[in-house]
Amino acid sequence: MHYFEYQNGELFAEQVPVRRIAKEVGTPAYIYSLATLKRHYQVFDRAFARVPHVICFSVKANSNLAVLRTFAKEGSGFDIVSGGELFRALKAGADPKKIVFSGVGKKKEEIEYALDAGILMFNVESEQELAFLDDVSRARGKRAPISLRVNPDVDPKTHPYISTGMKKSKFGIEIKRSAELYKKALSLKNLEVIGVDCHIGSQLTSVGPFVDALSRIREYLDRVLVGYLRKEGANIRYLDLGGGLGIQYKDEEPPRPEDYAAALIQGLEGLDVTLILEPGRVMVGNAGILVTEVLYLKETDEKKFVVVDGGMNDLLRPALYGSYMGIRPVVERKAETIVADVVGPICESGDFFAKDREISRPQPGDLLAVMSAGAYGFTMASNYNSHPKPPEILVDGDKFYVVRQRETLEDLIRGETIPPILQ
Ligand SMILES: *Cc1c(COP(=O)(O)O)cnc(C)c1O
């Protein structure tokens, strides 16, 4: 569900013609719909209304300050994976008591920053991290609230690059070793054990793997942990089930948040914990588009290419995962349908938005909208081939705001110097 719709053959972002925004800010440009962002948060939050819960939006999906601010104002917490994301969340007005810190490679400075900010908890991913976190906390005169990220070894049936909860994954702690590590955590004076965490993958299109992960953790909790941890005086108050709910890019039929919530809530029965959820994609994916302009139509005997001014530097998903992204004309025109690759200007054959796509024959100057680009879009953008990063625009009803300026050529070389020996 989103607010990008056609009116008289022309694509609108809420009440603003996309063409008008493109004319004013240029292309390529990301456009987000405020009403869609709010709606997604509210639908998700309402789905879990029956149980105590904290929603921690996964900052890596879209870390623009205005987007984070939107969620903070709705009451959202945040799931961060770096000190940089903590900085952004705090700048956006996040409540530190609703921030969880995930990731396999937390550095000393990042841990200190999060301890000083007073976050809700650290999701610890290895034995060494546990000991290190204790050391850093002691030196800081603090106690770090922690959960262990356990790896329930379920197959989320998604792209291998975004499967994170299987045995061979670098993420989390093998579930059968977790009792041992909980024991260790309890023996460390500067840690406070408060939760269990897992995150099995991204873009999941059925509830099965979530339910399986929950039941594996549940079985484990009931059998081993709760009795033992209670005896040792630990109080597991939080169960963090991560993110991962998928969205529709093409013809997927992901579960609705209501169904996802119902399945999880059922699996929680009788457990006295506050649920933490870390949705990313489902919050922002369909709330954003990337608008790009057609530069050339290139035809060979073999193939047709629509060359556009946005590329893998702006939106990496097709190049990285071979993902399907919907592509729509910003202004519909009557033209023959052709089959073409939609490609960018980057000097890589992996630089494409679509392969062998049926598309109505565009002309140079036409605008195309890459749909569902709000998640893992701008956050994965780079300056490869020295293209300035695109602007980000937030639409609210009939108004729009530039919430990140297009980078300039000067931005490209900021921080670089030519040393005296070369002068
Ligand atoms: C990426 C990530 C998420 C968000 O995943 P989505 O599929 O975008 O919902 C949540 N938690 C952790 C630990 C992550 O790494």
**Contact in structure between 108 and 144 (CB atoms under 8 Å):** no
Q: What is the dihedral of CA 338, 340, 344, 346, to 10 degrees?
A: -150
Query: How many angstroms separate the alpha carbon of residue 77 from the centre of ligand 1?
Result: 14
pTM (predicted TM-score): 0.96
Percent helix, percent strand, percent coil in the chain, to nearest 5: 35, 25, 40
pLDDT of residue 248: 96
79 lines ligand 1 (CB under 6 A): yes
Q: Give CA–CA dist 304/306, Å, rounded.
A: 7
- Average pLDDT of span 3-20: 98
Cα separations in angstroms, 349 against 323, 346, 410: 15, 8, 28
Query: At 175, is the pLDDT very low, low, confident or very high (cuts 50, 70, 90)?
Result: confident
Nearest to 19 by CA among 8, 31, 10: 10
pLDDT of residue 155: 81
Q: What percent of the chain has pLDDT over 70?
A: 99
Cα separations in angstroms, 397 against 68, 145, 290, 362: 19, 41, 19, 29
Report DSSP state, residue 118. Answer: T
**Contact in structure between 225 and 196 (CB atoms under 8 Å):** yes
Least confident of 31-45, 132-146, 227-241, 388-402: 227-241
Angle at 229 between CA 228 and CA 230, to 5 degrees: 95
Nearest to 258 by CA among 282, 274, 284: 282
What pLDDT digit, counting tens, does each position of 310-339 carry? 999 999 999 999 999 999 999 999 999 999
pLDDT of residue 278: 98
DSSP string, 18-56: HHHHHHHH-SSEEEEEHHHHHHHHHHHHHHTTTS-EEEE
Ligand 1 pocket mutation, candidates 67, 76, 151, 202, criterion most atoms within 8 A of CB:
202
- Average pLDDT of span 91-105: 97
**pLDDT of 160 above 90:** no
User: How many CB atoms within 10 Å of residue 151?
Assistant: 27
pLDDT of residue 103: 95
120 lines ligand 1 (CB under 6 A): no
- Average pLDDT of span 84-97: 98
Domains along the sequence of the chain with CATH: 4-31+285-412 (2.40.37.10), 103-277 (3.20.20.10)
pLDDT of residue 164: 76
> Which residues are catalytic, by number?
347
**Six-digit token string for 47:** 């789905």
What pLDDT digit, counting tens, does each position of 354-369 carry? 999 999 999 999 999 9
Query: How many angstroms separate the alpha carbon of residue 61 from the centre of ligand 1?
Result: 8
Q: Give CA–CA dist 172/153, Å, rounded.
A: 10
149 lines ligand 1 (CB under 6 A): no
- Residues 159-170 as b or e (16 or more Cβ within 10 Å = b): eeebbbbbeeee
**pLDDT of 28 above 80:** yes
Ligand 1 pocket mutation, candidates 100, 102, 207, criterion most atoms within 8 A of CB:
102
**pLDDT of 161 above 90:** no
pLDDT of residue 266: 94
**Six-digit token string for 253:** 């039929």
Q: Report the atom number in ligand 1 closest to the C-alpha of 61.
A: 8
178 lines ligand 1 (CB under 6 A): no
Question: Taking the CA of residue 155 as centre, how many other CA atoms within 13 Å lie in the half-sphere pointing to its CB?
Answer: 3
What pLDDT digit, counting tens, does each position of 369-416 carry? 999 999 999 999 999 999 999 999 999 999 999 999 999 999 999 999
pLDDT of residue 219: 85
What pLDDT digit, counting tens, does each position of 204-254 carry? 999 999 999 999 998 887 776 666 776 777 788 999 999 999 999 999 999
Ligand 1 pocket mutation, candidates 44, 79, 99, 104, criterion most atoms within 8 A of CB:
79
* Interstrand relation of 238-240 and 191-197 (parallel, antiparallel or unpaired): parallel
Query: How many angstroms separate the alpha carbon of residue 158 from the centre of ligand 1?
Result: 13
Q: What percent of the chain has pLDDT over 90?
A: 86
61 lines ligand 1 (CB under 6 A): yes
Cis bond leading into 254, ω under 30°?
no
pLDDT of residue 225: 65
Task: Read off the amino acid at residue 300.
Answer: T
Query: How many angstroms separate the alpha carbon of residue 242 from the centre of ligand 1?
Result: 6
pLDDT of residue 224: 67
**pLDDT of 88 above 90:** yes
